[in-house]
């Protein structure tokens, strides 16, 4: 079975991620466990995708459940890229 890629859900997720990053910062998406300091909090990633899906549902009236996993992976990928860039900037 092929993956379902909903480009508008991914775009809406990126917009919401940018808004949250501007408002709360990158640390909002990281777990506070001292043993694993740079691990992403899955519930925060899910929050971004679910909020984007809710906004999109209001606009178009439909969101395919199979598209959520692809949107989550795109959000995680962007967050990992930003964490790595922050680590390189601080010299870790």
Q: What is the pLDDT of residues 75-92, one digit of tens each?
A: 999 999 999 998 888 876
Distance CA 41, CA 11 (A): 21
Whether 2 is in a domain gets the answer no
- DSSP 8-state symbol, 56: H
Q: Retrieve residue 53's tokens.
A: 């899906």
pTM of structure: 0.84
Whether 30 is in a domain gets the answer yes
**How many domains does the chain fold into?**
1
Distance CA 81, CA 87 (A): 10
Domain with 75, as residue range(s), is 7-90
pLDDT score, position 18: 96
- Which residues make beta-bridge pairs with 40? 30
Distance CA 62, CA 7 (A): 13
Looking at per-residue pLDDT, the higher value among 65 and 44 belongs to: 44
Whether 70 is in a domain gets the answer yes
pLDDT score, position 92: 63
Residue 2 has pLDDT above 60, yes or no: no
């Amino acid at each position: 079975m092929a993956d379902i890629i909903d480009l508008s859900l991914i775009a809406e997720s990126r917009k919401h991620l940018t808004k949250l990053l501007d408002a709360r910062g990158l640390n909002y998406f990281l777990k506070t466990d001292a043993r694993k300091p740079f691990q992403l909090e899955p519930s925060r990633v899910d929050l971004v995708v679910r909020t984007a899906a809710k906004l999109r549902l209001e606009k178009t009236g439909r969101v395919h459940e199979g598209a959520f996993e692809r949107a989550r992976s795109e959000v995680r990928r962007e967050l990992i890229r930003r964490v790595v860039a922050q680590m390189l900037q601080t010299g870790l």
